[in-house]
Structure 1
């Protein structure tokens, strides 16, 4: 069965019937996420080597576009998940990639911060981080307040940014398990986003992760954000029909933005 057929079944059988309640009551679409996982759509862009769909950005954009016409909250969750998976696919562990491919794992982005330039009412810049990272043996303590986190308290992991451990400048990215002690999400999500998307602030004061939770090299996260995260987010938001600038992506590129799929052909 193709992913398009699987998506049609999930949209018709699960997402559409609950979309009104999701939007009206602001209830996270857990049933939709579970169904998308069972249908192989959470693992759509994971390599077939790990059991995923082996698809790419144009395919993810099609899934987001079709979902957004039915439920904007579920589409927002998929946007953040697919952008996070694009990083995990290149730098994450085989186990994590396998869990995503199997539909058992939802990831999200935790990159923007209250203290980032232009944050809280301005343009959040993903390439600037005030989050601290301190290593003690094989454990790293991450201390931050991340905002505009989609599926906050609902995702299984976050792709997280901090200042480097030892590098002079740049960012370092981490995969932070959502169940890690000392992560705090307010009871009432207040971070914008479509109603029901559980977009909120995530606090770490601090959260402890293993040193091997690093994604890429120390200080190499800036290049990953600019070359992977932002192009995926911009393309997926465009697919969802969101033309207005979003705090997390507006002004994201220091120069004229190039559409990331200009050199790609959609399937």
Structure 2
């Protein structure tokens, strides 16, 4: 019959359509060979990069301690970097005080000197502290808060433990602006030798590096020249405690 097509004609009529589809699929595959099929998984998601390791080169500068100048992550045992509250009278107190001067203190900058730039936070002992005297605005937030490692703060002169944490950290940071470390000769040192009349001050990481005596019981330090006074300090009652030798901690 005229209305019907022969089987061979139907086959020939369908062939171009199939060929076009095949051509389209091939063209898509050639144009984007790495594109997965629609609906297929693209593979596992990458692991989070939010780790507690050292910062990667080229990363955005992070917060650093206002005393030792190390960042949040540090291999020197300063513990976590914390944000400390200012004293209730912080604005008035700041306006009426200047960083201490005298032996062991850096003289204030003259009016013609420009504000020094903050050095990049480092982890090497050679990068502890500040080479130049900082301005308070560089170490404190506008609210008076400051960022300091817990051990850098707790060992500092004038810092006291309270129920809510540590108090006096802001004033320790203010004092450290002009105080040099006896070990590294950089500014930011606030941990004194507790021997009577000794003027030596240290950063927390530098204290161990210089073989100071450190008592974890009292959070008090003796410089290498006064370690013999450790027994008088009564820091530890255990004769075999490693804190009874220079550079040790009990």
Task: State TM-score, norm by structure 1.
Answer: 0.23
Q: Greater CA radius of gyration, 1 or 2?
A: 2
Structure number with higher strand proportion: 1
The structure richer in helix per residue is 1
TM-score normalised by length of structure 2: 0.24
